[in-house]
Structure 1
Amino acid sequence: MLNCKQVTRLASARLDRRLTLRERLSFRLHLMMCAACRRFDAQLQFMHGAMSRFGRGERPDREDR
């Protein structure tokens, strides 16, 4: 079973590479039980998407402000 520190590392790593099957299963199992890691993952995904859009020069929608 992964601990929260390991899950945060995997959450970051999956932005750069595809996780192995074992990593994905362990990651998802932990997220089912840990609300803090679910929030961290959601925030990380949001920031990654926002920075990708910023890097492409896209402007935020009115609703995003």
Structure 2
Amino acid sequence: MLSCKQVTRLASEKRDRSLSLRERLSFRMHLMMCAACSRFDAQMQFMRTAMSRFSRGETPDREDR
């Protein structure tokens, strides 16, 4: 079982590289049991999406505010 520290590292790394099957399974299993790491992963995805949209010059939608 992965620790929260390991999962937060993988949450960041999965944005830059493909995780191995073992890493993906361990990561998902941990997220099913840990609300804090699930929130962290969702926040990482939100920030990546927001920064990508910002770099393209897109403005936030009304419902995003």
TM-score, structure 2 as length reference: 0.97
Q: Aligned residue pairs: how many?
A: 65
Q: What's the counterpart of residue 7 of structure 1? A: 7
Residue 20 in 1 paired to residue 20 in 2? yes
Return the alpha-carbon distance in structure 1 between the equivalents of residues 17 and 62 of structure 2.
32
- Unaligned 5+ segments in structure 1 are none
Runs of 4+ that moved beyond 4 A: none
- Unaligned 5+ segments in structure 2 are none
Which whole-Å deviations, capped at 9, do the CAs of 1:3-40 have from their partners, x for residues lacking one? Answer: 00000000000000110000000000000000000000
Taking only aligned residues, the RMSD between alpha carbons, in angstroms, comes to 0.5
Percent identity over paired residues: 80
